[in-house]
Structure 1
Amino acid sequence: MDHQTDDDVLDAVGPRLRALRRDRGITLAAVAATAGVSESTLSRLESGQRRPSLELLLPLARIYDVPLDDLVGAPRTGDPRIHLKPLQRFGMTFVPLSRRPGGIHAFKMIVPARPRPLEPTPQTHEGFEWLYVLNGHLRLVLGERNLTLPPGEAAEFDTSQPHWLGSADGGAVELLILFGLQGVRAHVRTDADRP
């Protein structure tokens, strides 16, 4: 078992921050401006001449899109499970399958069975969505198009287009959704795509 002291943990933060910044190809000046700290403060933090504080690490975790635990090298709790907390929205159940801030978010969505299917109420928002139907028949209204997707079919679209998801036949529908903010798309590969 590794017994690191608090000093060891804090000493490792600077090199970890420098590696994250370089891996992303971001300049020290750009990170400092976005984080709202001086370039010299960030430079001293990366070189280990300044101790990290929560006030410095929180904005950096957001900028680098990593959990705070990753910045300080916090040990894993030993439990890799994601504890799912379903959310109810628009009469449907959304189960978050990912917990990482930023980037692409994964959800399982459940459209409940209804004796009379709902009338579509298309919405728009920023982002890009990829979906895959697990069970049931999904009705996807996308702009002027009205599509029915059976199990095993997938669709992707820019969510700035008016869209609506529901049951095609009144039965329950289960699907997986990958959602990213504008400019973040899921890249799906098949065996045929591989060299």
Structure 2
Amino acid sequence: MDATVRMRIRSLRTARGWSLDNLAERAGISPSQLSRIETGHRRLSLDQLAAIAEALGKSLDELVESPDDSDVVIRPERDERRGLTTWLLNKDDGPHGLTVGKMRITDQAGDVSPDDLGVHPGRDWFTVLSGTVVLYLGERVIRVEAGQAASFSTMTPHALRSDRGPAEILIILNHNGKRSHLGT
């Protein structure tokens, strides 16, 4: 467990681009103490772990949680009503609040009512991995096939459906797109 916590501290620090000095200053400890904590040459103390966790923007529980497969395996979220299965590929919002996800769309193209079309600030981007996606964009109906990508202003009413069978896409959403498309 100690080794996992030490690696987690170092990984979180380096992922943020922080030096030992940067994190040590934020946590209120000396850089040499932090170095010895990361390398295993100093015992982990609760007060220092709490300060390090806070400086990293994590809870103490997140810092010391036992490793299981949840940090490796991405499990799908199914929305049967909307014909979507989604895999969120980043746990937290990425750079600039962007979320990357893979979606399997089974809801077939057909009559789309105005109530089916959503609007939110920003832009959506997706690339089709398999199948064909029908993009309803205002009055336009656009077929996007495997290997093609689409990018559009989301202030235009829009919806995604599959054409003649399931389609899978890789999608990048901003905060508003995530809330609108994924309900989060």
Q: 1:101 maps to which residue?
A: 92
Q: Does 1:157 align with 2:152?
A: yes
Larger CA deviation: 94-103 vs 127-136 = 127-136
Alignment of 1:59-78 (within 5 A): 60-61=57-58
Aligned counterparts of 1:87 and 1:146: Cα–Cα separation in 2: 26
Task: Give, in angstroms, the shift of residue 77 of structure 1.
Answer: 5.1
Partner residue, 2:29? 44
Aligned amino acid, residue 146 of structure 1: V
Aligned counterpart, 1:132: 127
Q: CA deviation at 1:17?
A: 5.7
Q: Give the superposition deviation at 1:174.
A: 0.7
By how many angstroms is 1:82 displaced?
2.2
TM-score (normalised: structure 2): 0.56
TM-superposed CA distance for 1:42, in Å, is: 2.3
Is the contact made by 2:135 and 2:160 (CA closer than 8 Å) also made in structure 1?
yes
Matched-pair identity in %: 19
Alpha-carbon offset, residue 140 of structure 1? 0.9
Paired residue type of 1:155: A
- SS of the residue corresponding to residue 49 of structure 2 reads coil
1:19 Cα offset (Å): 4.0
Higher helix share: 2
Partner of 2:174: 181
Q: Structure 2 counterpart of 1:180, which letter?
A: L
Report if aligned partners of 1:140, 1:164 keep a CA contact under 8 Å in 2: yes
1:53 counterpart letter in structure 2: A
Q: Are 1:91 and 2:82 matched, yes or no?
A: yes
| Alpha-carbon separation, structure 2, partners of 1:41 and 1:131 | 38
The alpha carbon displacement at 1:178 in A equals: 2.0
How many residues align? The count is 156
In structure 2, what is the Cα distance between the partners aligned to 1:76 and 1:180?
Answer: 29
Q: Give TM-score scaled by structure 1 length.
A: 0.53
Q: What stretches of structure 1 of length at least 5 have no aligned partner?
A: 32-38, 63-67, 183-195
Distance 1:45 1:87 in 2: 47
Structure 2: 5+ residue runs without aligned partners?
A: 35-44, 176-184
Per the TM alignment, residue 10 of structure 1 is displaced from its structure 2 partner at its CA by 5.9
